[in-house]
Structure formats: C-alpha cells, structure tokens
A and B are shown apart, each in its own frame.
Chain A
Amino acid sequence: MQQQQQQQLAKIIPISVSALRRGNDPWNDIRPGTLFPGAGRFGWLFPAMAANVRKLGLLMVRHAGKILLLCLLGFMASCHKPDDLGDVSKIPGLGGDSSVTTPIDQWIYDTLTVPFNISAKYRWDQFELELNKSLTPPSESKIIPTLSAVKKVWIDTYIAEAGSNFMKTLIPKFFVLVGSASWNTDGTITLGTAEGGRKIVLYVLNDFRTKSMPGYVPADSFNIKQMFHTIEHEFGHILHQNVLYPPSFKTIGVGFYTSNWNNVSDKEANSEGFVTAYSMSAPDEDFVEMISIMLTEGRAGFENIVNSIPPGTTPDNVTQAQAQSRLRQKEAIVVSYFKDVWNINFYSLQTRVRAQVVSLIQ
C-alpha cells in the first residue's frame, strides 16, 4: 500500500505545453489525427470494434461447453514432467544488457557512479518506460552535457548546502534518459517522471541546448528550465516522502485543488494563490512545485510571480491580497521545512541553484 501510495504521490509531473504551440507547423496534426473534436482519424472504427468484441463474447457463451472440454484436455496434456533448467549461467542477458564501454559510459561511471552510486541508462530499454508511448532514445551528443548540467545545478548545490552525506542518502539512484518528450493524449507532454524515490526518467534530452552549445536560441532556455524544474520537483517528492511537511500546508489552499488543473493557465493559478497550474492538482504537488519554482526561478523570480498577480477578484472569489498571502505562507513553510527537517538554508540554496541555471542560459 505504501509503495502504491508513494508511486501515486510521485507519479508524474506533466508540465503542459500545448501541442499546438510547440511545432512550427501545427497543420501536421491534420493528417494523422484531428484537432477537431469528435472526428478522430480512427474514431469511426471504434463502434465496429466494440461490435466485434460483443460478438466474441456471445460466441464464448454459446460454446461454453466445448471451450470447457478443450481446457480440460489441455489440463490433462499438461501432466507433470520434471523440468531441467539447464545451465542457468548461459541465459542471455542475465545481469542486464551489456554493450562495449564507450567514453560516455566511462564518463558516467567516473562522474556519477563512483561518487554517488548513480547509474544513468541512456541506451534504449523499453521496459523502463511506458510501453504504449512512441518515444526515442537520446542522442549521444546530448548525454554528457545534460548530465553534467544536472550535476552542477542540482547535485553540487545541495552538497554545498547540506553536505555530501545528505545527497548520498537521498539521491535517486537510477536515471533513465529519453530523447523525445512523452506525448499524452490530451496534447500535453510529460518532461519527467519519478518512481518510488529511486528512479527518475528525464525526457526531451534531444532538445537540451545550453548557451555554450551551437545553435542555442533564447527559446531553448525554456527546455533547460523545464528540465531542472522536473528534477527539483521530483527530488522535492523524495524529501517529503521521507519526512512529511507540516499539515498546516494543506490547509492554505484547501478547496482549490482540482483535477482540472490542466485547463488553468499558470497566470490564473497564481491569482488563486498557486505557484503553477500543476500545483493545483494536489497538496503534495503544490509543495514540490513551490520548491521547484523557487529554486529554478530564484528569489527574484518568485518575488516577481507574487508581485505580478493582478488586482481584482478571481471567479473563485480570491482577492489579490489573499493570493499573495497564500503564496507567502507556503513560502514560509517551505523555508522552515528545509531548516527544521534537513537543516538547509533554503535561501542560500536558492541563490546557488539560480546562479547555476543562469550560467546555462544567459
């Protein structure tokens, strides 16, 4: 149960980017699937398929006797026989996949495995990922830049504030790297997932481009910030799954959590007293979104979010002052949580993280 709950808590951080706004040519959507509601490319197939399933069901009911007999025969034929397992050391792939070591493998081993016992799987392994999604493996040229940025922005800054033992204890041990984003049926994309505090899946590596890399355009800073947003978010989950935040946090935005968050813009969420739209999905997400945004945007960036809440009252009767006060209360709880539970000066950590993020994008 605990396991399940943890998975639930840490499920995913779907940072929604509308499919329409991503590509150069949204027209592409027309060919394969439709953007017009209710007229999907294969939509017309479904009634026919449902009928077939019904037919199969009827068939099975009518011939239940024969099916039973067949099963009985099968059962008899399966009479006990001793199974010789053979030489188990000859099982191919036992102990995991092996490939000839490349410089990338060596770099990962030296930089992440030896000091932190982290492994990073970048070679494609479908079984680490959702089986029903079209995804691609990462480009080899993106692996070292991404992982070294991860180390600088996330690992090194926490170590500087909390010491290496803190990080070695809590750090997720297993990174899975994916080249593309994970596209959801509602048009949003998932940029990262975490499971049980052990495994983090990072998507969209192929779009990772820092200012020192050729072809960098300012729009790439979005991808970079999203990636660290994801990592800080998931690490936030690990922190609160080890020691829960004060229950008073849940009362600040009570009544405003909604599964309809993906139809709310970040700006609207701010006016309701939430730091992002996704933080409206649940108190746990709210808590880690606070951590994540405050770290990646920096103190000035967070102040900017709070101060740019427009005057007036939202449709849910939240005033500007109430929204700002809610964000301030949440900020205070996050800061004291870091101090009391992990003995970390949050503002100092924030300064370090933001400085690293800035160095990648400006």
Chain B
Amino acid sequence: MKNSIFLYFIIALAALASCKKDKTVFSETADERVGKVLAAYQDTLAHAPNGWKGFIFPGGLNGGVVAFYFKFNNANRVEMFSDFDSVSNVTVLQSSYRLKALQQPALIFDTYSYVSVLSDPDAAANGGSYGSGLTSDFEFAIDTIKGDTIMLTGRLHSTKAYLVKASQQEMNDYYNKKHTNRAFNNINKHLVYFKRVTFGGVTYEVVPNFDNRTVIITWVDGNGPHVVTTGYYYTTTGIAFITPIVSGSTTINGLDNIVWNNSALSMTLSVNGFNQTVATATRPLVIDATSPSRWWSSYARYLTNQGFHINGVDDALGIRNVTYFYGLSYESGGGTFLDAMGVYQLYNNQFHADYAPLFNPPTFTAGKAIFHYSRNYGNVSSTFTLSDSLTVDITRTQLTDALGYYLVQLGTTTYDMVGARDAKAWVRWYAN
C-alpha cells in the first residue's frame, strides 16, 4: 500500500512536470530543416568533381557486392557504370534520380538503370530468384555523410550501400572504357579445384563463389588457420576485395594483372606487385573435418542442375541428357531411411522423381564423405528410359568413388563436393 501511494505521488509529479516545457528546441521547423538537408545532399552529390564510386550489397548475394560509378548533375540526371556484367562496365547509362523527403531523406534512382537491374523480379535479368531478383534496392535512405563517404540503406530490403568520392583517375578509367579485365571468371577452368597464391611466404587458398560474387580466402599462420569470405568487384586489371585480407602485417586488397592462358589452362596474376602463376592443389589447404557431416545433416535435400564437372568438362557424365531433366539431388535419410540420389524431371508442368539410386548413410573420415550404394528405387518407363537409367548409373559410380569427397562450404546453403582422388571432379550442391 505504502508503495502504491509513493507511486501515485511520482505520477502526479510527472504530470505536473510535463506541462511546462520549452516550445522550440530548433530554430526552424522540421520542414525547413528537411528542405535544407535535401538541398545540402543535392549539392554534395552533384558537386563531386569526379563523381562517385558506389557499392551495393544486394541481400541475394549474401555478402557479395556490385561496384558502380555515378555522376550526378543538378537536373535529376545521373550517368553510371556497373561491374555487374562486362557490358555495363564499359557502357555509360543515363537515367533519372531524385532526392525526396520520405521518412528519411532518400536517394531514388527513379527510372530503370544498372541499379534497378539488381532488384528486377524477373530472374532472367540478374540470376536471382523469380519475384524478388537479388533482393536489392533502388530507393535508398541517406544515413550519414562522413568525409568522402555517403552511407545508404535500401528502403524496401534494407540493402546496404555506400558512395565514395572518386578520383580523377577512377573517373577517366570508366569513361575511357578501361574496365575490361574479367579474366578472374576463368579461375574455375583450372582442371584442379584448389587454387593457391602466395605472398610474403604465406600461401592463400582462393575459392571463388561466382553465384554470390564472393571469394573465400584461407591461409595458415602462427595463430592457426584463417578463413575470410569477402565480396569482390572488378578493377581495370583484376579484382579487388571489398574487405581487404589482413594477414599479420600484410594487407591484400585484391588480385591484379590477371591473365588467363586458355591453352595452358593457367592463370598469372600479381599479389601486391608480386607476379606469379596460380598454383593448384589436390586437397584443401585446411581440411574442415566436420564439413561432410555438417553437409549431410544440415539439409534434407541438396540439388544440382549441372551434374559433375570432371577434368574441365561441365556435366562430364551427361546427366543433363536425361529426358525432361530438371535436377539431380542428394537426399539424406537421416540414418533412419536410406539416402537417395533423386533424378528430378519436369514435364506437364510438374516435378517427377521416379528413379533414384539409394545409399547407406555416408561415412565421414578425415574431412571426407564416402558414399555407399545400396540399391535402386524405381523402374524405367516411357518417361525415364533405359538409357536414362544408364546415365544415372554412371553418375552413381562416380559418387561412390572409394576415396570419397571433400565438402567445401561456400555459404550456409551451398557446398562444392570435390573428389579426393585428384580434385578434378566436383559438383555444386544447393540446399533445397
């Protein structure tokens, strides 16, 4: 009781205290202040003499980045380049933009441009998903301006982005169409999966994930193994890491002067000015002992639409030739049931999985998964022919290689499964 009297006293005090207050904290109204801020932003954008570099991190890329160049003027027009593909990196596009006072001052790219390509819900435009594209934005709230950097946050998908004032050299490189080096895209044409570069006596393993525009860099030093995943973007001579790799006193900002030799199937590049040929290895630099069991137990179904890449040949076992082929799966039975390698077919607008080799649960040793064939499920039919079943048998034989497979985790739902025999056979699994 005593307590509640005290409480009411406090409330009464609060009530009294709340009635008298200074009316104006600001010397101007909110509208006047918003107007001023918009004008200031407009001035900042349009008066950067060399334009702006822009970096957008679409949600669909999971850490990947797309690099832009923008030149804004005072008449709602912006010229831009984007490293999203090789054409947009050397072709200037003019479109419209405006600043608007929404809940926050916002920068809106308000007609179709390289920025909106990333959010196009038609996946054919950007390789994302149907309905949301790469879940990116073209309406950005302006968070802060710090020095030469403007921090942005997308309004629909909260896409992170920022703009940095460009140098004259950077501007000229864009307008003079210098952004033509995309040789890095050939790195997976090496016959062997694991690629290594060196600098300062340290060996770095480079695993690219082109789906997400990221690379996974692994190295070992006195403090043990390090694994860093960073987005990359294309420069005039190679790629740059959006998060530089810091290894002791060394900082690596990217890979430069990349040249792919298509006859020797080898790549030369330089790391911090140190020229070298990319080395290959048949095993990972750091063996992730738990990744095979993680892979097996995390998701019930993994899918690939490409099948095995062997010795430089995509779909070397011809799984895509299966009638009505849609995808090949590996489905864990969790130990209760047999595992299955399902063959998904798409016809009559429906999925069919009528045939599947079955497996006992894989065994996991030394960071490898070894698969054990049990028996087949399903029969051949008019929609799944005898020759289809032979194709599947070949793939099953490949899968049950006695030396097993490493599982390289590229993201939460993506793994590359690499043959331990010679690292020349691999398949990419997407959790589904």
Contacts and interface: CB of A to CB of B under 8 A. Distances in A.
A134 B121 contact: yes
A125 B102 CA distance: 11
B119 A136 contact: yes
B121 A135 contact: yes
B377 interface: no
B31 A39 contact: no
Contact of B139 (A78, A93, A124, A138): A124
Contacts of B155: 126
B76 interface: yes
A97 interface: yes
Given A22-B122, A24-B124, A92 B35 contact: yes
Give the interface size bracket for B toward A.
Answer: 35 or more
B32 A87 contact: yes
A183 B155 CA distance: 19
Contacts of A91: 31
B96 A140 contact: yes
B222 to A, nearest CB: 39
A26 interface: yes
Interface stretch (A7-15, A30-38, A147-155, A193-201): A30-38
A233 B312 CA distance: 53
A138 B38 CA distance: 25
Interface string B342-356: 000010010100000
Contacts of A28: 123-124, 127-130
B111 A137 contact: yes
Task: Find the residue from B35, B111, B139 having the highest chain A CB count within 10 A.
Answer: B111
A183 B111 contact: no
Contacts of A126: 139, 155-156
A206 interface: yes
A32 B60 contact: yes
Nearest to B24: A84
Interface in B38-92: 38, 60, 75-77
A136 B116 contact: yes
Interface residues of A, number: 65
Contacts of B60: 32
Contacts of B18: 76-79
A170 B427 CA distance: 60
A18 B303 CA distance: 22
A305 to B, nearest CB: 22
Interface string B126-147: 0111111101001100000000
B128 A136 contact: no
Contact of A19 (B96, B120, B130): B130
A136 B125 CA distance: 11
Contact of B11 (A72, A82, A122, A183): A72
Interface string B1-33: 000000100010011001101011000111110
Contact of A35 (B19, B76, B351): B351
A254 interface: no
A60 B72 CA distance: 50
B124 A137 contact: no
B129 A81 contact: no
Contacts of A99: 76, 96, 98, 110
Nearest 7 A-B pairs (CB), nearest first? A32-B129, A86-B29, A183-B131, A139-B112, A124-B110, A100-B75, A76-B15
27 contacts: A27-B326, A27-B327, A29-B123, A31-B430, A36-B351, A39-B432, A76-B14, A84-B23, A92-B34, A92-B100, A97-B98, A123-B96, A123-B98, A123-B110, A124-B108, A124-B110, A126-B139, A134-B133, A136-B112, A137-B110, A140-B96, A140-B112, A179-B112, A180-B121, A182-B121, A183-B121, A185-B131
Given A124-B138, A183-B131, 18 more contacts: A18-B349, A26-B326, A28-B130, A34-B432, A72-B11, A80-B19, A85-B29, A90-B31, A92-B101, A99-B76, A99-B98, A100-B75, A100-B77, A134-B135, A136-B119, A137-B109, A138-B112, A206-B112
Interface of A: 18-36, 39, 41, 69, 72-73, 76-82, 84-88, 90-93, 97, 99-100, 102, 122-126, 133-140, 179-183, 185, 187, 206
